[in-house]
DNA sequence: ATGAAAGCGCTAACAA
DNA sequence: TTGTTAGCGCTTTCAT
């Protein structure tokens, strides 16, 4: 029926343990033996049983991707990350489970415990904003489960992937300044999210570098949603002196700004330049297309998973790798009126 | 260390097998015994090991959600479905694995084989357009793995969830007719997808019912993407007599239509009414907000998973349940010019 | 309605 | 470098 490790052993004329060693890429196997075993595995189409491996051993070859179910970033972002993680899993014969976590209350603790003790999860991919929930990270550490983070706020001792978002935001705002804008507003994302902090910092840095004043009226709080972008924009439009450009901390809010501009009869980019961050599909589907910063989300998911596996396989400790951003200059920004 | 089934047995004063029976909800256990066992499980915080169950038994309590990785519907749609599936899994102590399938070539056969024989997957949730790939369904059947489908084209003998998309499309187009439109165009989705067929059929039915002619020039092929919506709209605008309303088979293409309208200087809805299908977040983020049909995607994912589990638990055979649609009438449609 | 024994397919700890 | 033995925690027979 099913081809077992023992069958491979018999066919090769070695002990089951040796086959196990080959399977687990242990070094203490003579090369010729390894080749024979691998050949037999291949020809017999042997596939190890994850259940048996999980039961007998300490590893499950399962990783979990954790995401916040309340405070969700755009679902397209998560979907891309997930695809990237799956790419990496595929390549290294790991399987992935998707695990939305409701972070209200202590429910998530039980969920994490269940994951770890039930499924023997080998490691975890943590997506924003979970990357900076101390209670979660602490629990993972208590279980001794390694994790890789995507765009973590606190980077010391963390493995995974990040992008220089502050630099990207600065470049974007600098572009606005070069277009002649002097009254540039910023809509901040959810407070304490790394993304919000970096993008705000980049905005301030660009203004400071250009010697422009940092008018507190021009910094409005949002919460990464389309609706909050609309509200924030209305607030800015109500100011005695309107900004000529608005940098929203993500594309959804930027879309909200453009919506509010339409509502008010402002023509983008003639009367108002707008830009966002993330380069979601939405960015090119708006009219006019949105100037934004491209994040290679899928690649980031893949890289984070690779770092995790690097650590799991004990080949190294894993790194925090940095991916490049790119400015997508489109029609929603132009010279200041 | 870990609480095992045996520990629960000892604490309750019964044999391990009896605890196993309780765990698996077998009927042949005296009610008082069952209560005592359940109480002990609870108080000892017993959690069965999926690995051990998978290894010893025939079930894994794992379901896989399959989706097409090339021919992806909007990722927000899949993400919502996935959340719904996870809701149901949570409630019934199943776990879920997400499995993108590359359907080019025969690669997917190997992937499915691997899933089934490696992980002993108990059942599968199939999302469009996978619901109607005969080779995939055949393979699942050969493995004896039950599946539940979301919006399958062929409904006989299928369990899962569906919506009366034709009726919904008819209602939408009828609404346009009531607004006075007589020249109504339709942009079709990818050929052979159930969604494309039903929506087209609903469009035709509405025209026929109203006694309007079915002008073939007004039916243009798209492929569910924003870009294809733009192209299709340009094609329609180039017609000697332009339509006054366009019904795109999904929101992404409708967004493309609005983009093309902007490009051409047409004002929506003054010069042109536009409507879509799905009610993705995009619909309310466009200017003007898009008239569309709401699909309760998350609920659909949940219901499909519930039907699957119904079948897995042998309580019944599972059904194909129908969910209601709702028309979301917004500002992108108005009276004919 | 309940229990005893065997074993699922693999790895751990030890041996050789 | 390779093999032996004993389990991992549960479910399956088959008994009672």
Q: Residue B39's domain is classified under what CATH number?
A: 1.10.260.40
Widest Cα–Cα separation across chain B: 86
Cα angle at A199 between A194 and A200, to 5 degrees?
Answer: 100
B51·A98 Cβ contact <8 A: no
- Does one domain contain both B130 and B24? no
Q: Does strand C come within 7 Å of the CB of B114? A: no
Q: What is the pLDDT of residues A104-130, one digit of tens each?
A: 777 788 888 888 878 889 999 999 999
List, in order, residues 6 or more apart from A302 with CB less than 8 Å away.
A84, A85, A87, A88
- A5 vs B321: which has the higher pLDDT: B321
- Does one domain contain both B301 and B159? yes
How far from each other are the two terminal CA atoms of chain B, in whole angstroms?
A: 75
- Does one domain contain both A20 and A82? no
- Would the CA dihedral through A94, A98, A103, A108 be positive or negative? negative
Identify the burial level of A178 via C-beta atoms within 10 angstroms of its C-beta, where 0-12 means exposed, 13-18 middle and 19 or more buried.
exposed
Pairing mode, strands A123-126 and A62-68: parallel
Q: Does strand C come within 7 Å of the CB of B51? A: no
Residue B325: name the closest of B301, B296, B300 by CA: B296
Would you state the pLDDT for residue B186? 98
- Does one domain contain both B83 and B144? yes
- Does one domain contain both A67 and A9? no
Q: What is the mean pLDDT of residues A205-217?
A: 96
What is the pTM for the complete model shown? 0.89
- Through-space separation of residue B15 CA and nucleotide C5 C1' in angstroms: 13
- Through-space separation of residue A89 CA and nucleotide C10 C1' in angstroms: 22
**Rounded CA separation A121/A196 (Å):** 31
- B132 vs A235: which has the higher pLDDT: A235
A322 sits in which H/E element: strand A320-323
Q: What is the mean pLDDT of residues B119-126?
A: 92
Q: What is the CA radius of gyration of chain A?
A: 25
Task: Find chain A residues with C-beta within 8 A of B286's C-beta.
Answer: 286
Can you give the residue range of the structural domain that contains A196? 165-295
- Through-space separation of residue B251 CA and nucleotide C4 C1' in angstroms: 63
List, in order, residues 6 or more apart from B162 with CB less than 8 Å away.
B150, B151, B152, B155, B320, B321, B322, B323
Kindly state whether residue A225 falls inside one of the protein's structural domains.
yes
Q: Does strand C come within 7 Å of the CB of B117? A: no
3-state secondary structure at position A69: coil
pLDDT band at A89 (very low <50, low <70, confident <90, very high): very high
Would you state the pLDDT for residue A102? 78
A79·B76 Cβ contact <8 A: yes
- Does one domain contain both B197 and B289? yes
List the strands of the sheet with A219-221, edge to edge: A219-221, A184-188, A245-248, A273-275
3-state secondary structure at position A12: helix
**Rounded CA separation A238/B312 (Å):** 59
- Does one domain contain both A107 and A140? yes
Kindly state whether residue B159 falls inside one of the protein's structural domains.
yes
Mean pLDDT, chain A, whole residue set? 92
Task: Find chain B residues with C-beta within 8 A of A284's C-beta.
Answer: 226
3-state secondary structure at position A140: helix
Mean pLDDT, chain B, whole residue set? 92
Residue by residue, DSSP assigns A86-107 as HHHHHHTT-EEEEEEE--STTH
Q: What is the pLDDT of residues A144-165, one digit of tens each?
A: 899 999 999 999 889 999 999 9
Kindly state whether residue A333 falls inside one of the protein's structural domains.
no
Q: What is the pLDDT of residues B265-276, one digit of tens each?
A: 999 999 999 999
Size of chain B in residues: 337
**Rounded CA separation B55/B280 (Å):** 42
Torsion of CA A29, A31, A36, A37, to 10 degrees: 30
Q: Is the pLDDT of residue B14 over 80?
A: yes
Kindly state whether residue B337 falls inside one of the protein's structural domains.
no
- A8 vs A316: which has the higher pLDDT: A8
Say if A11 is an interface residue toward chain B (CB within 8 Å): no
Kindly state whether residue A282 falls inside one of the protein's structural domains.
yes
Q: What is the mean pLDDT of residues B54-65?
A: 89
- Does one domain contain both B137 and B90? yes
pLDDT band at B228 (very low <50, low <70, confident <90, very high): very high
Q: Is the pLDDT of residue B239 over 90?
A: yes
Kindly state whether residue A57 falls inside one of the protein's structural domains.
no
Q: Which of B97, B252, B288 sits opposite A95 (nearest CB)?
A: B97
Q: Which of A55, A76, A286 sits opposite B75 (nearest CB)?
A: A76
Say if B256 is an interface residue toward chain A (CB within 8 Å): yes
Residue A271 gets which letter from DSSP?
A: T
List, in order, residues 6 or more apart from B217 with CB less than 8 Å away.
B239
Rounded to the nearest angstrom, the minimum Cα separation between B50 and chain A is 6
Task: Find chain A residues with C-beta within 8 A of B285's C-beta.
Answer: 226, 252, 255-256, 259, 282
**Rounded CA separation A4/B166 (Å):** 50
Residue B84: name the closest of B250, B306, B290, B233 by CA: B306
- A261 vs A38: which has the higher pLDDT: A261
Give the count of alpha carbons within 13 A of B220, CB side only: 26
Would you state the pLDDT for residue A215? 95
- Through-space separation of residue B119 CA and nucleotide C4 C1' in angstroms: 30
**Start-end of H helices in A146-217:** 165-178, 194-209
Would you state the pLDDT for residue B306? 95
B285·A284 Cβ contact <8 A: no
Q: What is the pLDDT of residues B279-289, one digit of tens each?
A: 998 999 888 99
Percent of chain B scoring above 70 in pLDDT: 99
- Does one domain contain both A174 and A220? yes
CB distance B280 to B321 below 8 Å: no
Kindly state whether residue A152 falls inside one of the protein's structural domains.
yes
3-state secondary structure at position A292: strand
Q: Locate tokens 């202590």: which residue?
A: A106
Percent of chain A scoring above 70 in pLDDT: 99
Kindly state whether residue A43 falls inside one of the protein's structural domains.
yes
- Does one domain contain both B228 and B198? yes
3-state secondary structure at position A126: strand
**Rounded CA separation B283/B275 (Å):** 9
Residue B132 belongs to domain with CATH number: 3.40.50.2300
Domain count, chain A: 3
Would you state the pLDDT for residue A289? 93
Rounded to the nearest angstrom, the minimum Cα separation between A178 and chain B is 27
Rounded to the nearest angstrom, the minimum Cα separation between A301 and chain B is 15
- Does one domain contain both A35 and A139? no
Q: What is the pLDDT of residues A268-319, one digit of tens each?
A: 999 999 999 999 989 998 889 999 999 999 999 999 999 999 998 876 788 9
Residue of B nearest to A63 (CA): B97
- Does one domain contain both A69 and A214? no
**Rounded CA separation B18/B72 (Å):** 47
Q: Is the pLDDT of residue B324 over 90?
A: yes
Task: Find chain A residues with C-beta within 8 A of B47's C-beta.
Answer: 114, 117-118
Say if B75 is an interface residue toward chain A (CB within 8 Å): yes
């Amino acid at each position: 029926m099913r081809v077992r490790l023992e069958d491979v052993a018999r066919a090769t004329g070695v002990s089951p343990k040796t086959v196990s060693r080959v399977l687990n890429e242990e070094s203490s196997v003579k090369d010729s033996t390894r080749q024979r075993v691998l050949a037999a595995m291949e020809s017999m189409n042997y596939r190890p049983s994850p259940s048996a491996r999980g039961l007998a051993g300490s590893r499950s070859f399962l990783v979990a991707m954790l995401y916040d179910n309340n405070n969700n970033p755009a679902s397209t972002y998560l979907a891309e990350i997930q695809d990237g993680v799956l790419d990496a899993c595929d390549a290294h014969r790991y399987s992935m489970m998707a695990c939305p976590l409701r972070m209200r209350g202590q429910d998530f603790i039980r969920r994490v415990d269940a994951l770890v003790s039930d499924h023997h999860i080998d490691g975890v991919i943590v997506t924003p904003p979970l990357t900076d929930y101390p209670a979660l990270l602490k629990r993972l550490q208590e279980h001794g489960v390694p994790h890789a983070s995507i765009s973590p706020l606190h980077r010391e001792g963390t493995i995974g992937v990040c992008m220089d978002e502050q630099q990207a935001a600065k470049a974007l705002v600098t572009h606005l300044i070069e277009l002649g804008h002097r009254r540039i507003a910023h809509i901040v994302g959810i407070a304490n999210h790394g993304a919000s902090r970096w993008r705000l910092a980049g905005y301030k840095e660009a203004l400071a570098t250009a010697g422009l004043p940092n008018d507190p009226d021009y910094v409005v709080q949002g919460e990464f949603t389309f609706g909050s972008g609309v509200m924030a924009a209305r607030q800015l439009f109500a100011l005695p002196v309107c900004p000529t450009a608005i940098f929203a901390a993500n594309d959804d809010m930027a879309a909200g700004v453009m919506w509010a501009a339409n509502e008010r009869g402002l023509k983008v980019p003639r009367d108002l330049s707008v830009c966002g961050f993330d380069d979601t599909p939405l960015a090119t589907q708006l009219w006019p297309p949105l100037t934004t910063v491209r994040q290679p989300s899928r690649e980031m998911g893949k890289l984070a998973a690779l770092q995790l596996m690097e650590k799991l396989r004990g080949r190294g400790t894993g790194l925090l790798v940095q991916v490049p951003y790119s400015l997508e200059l489109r029609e929603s920004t132009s010279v200041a009126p």
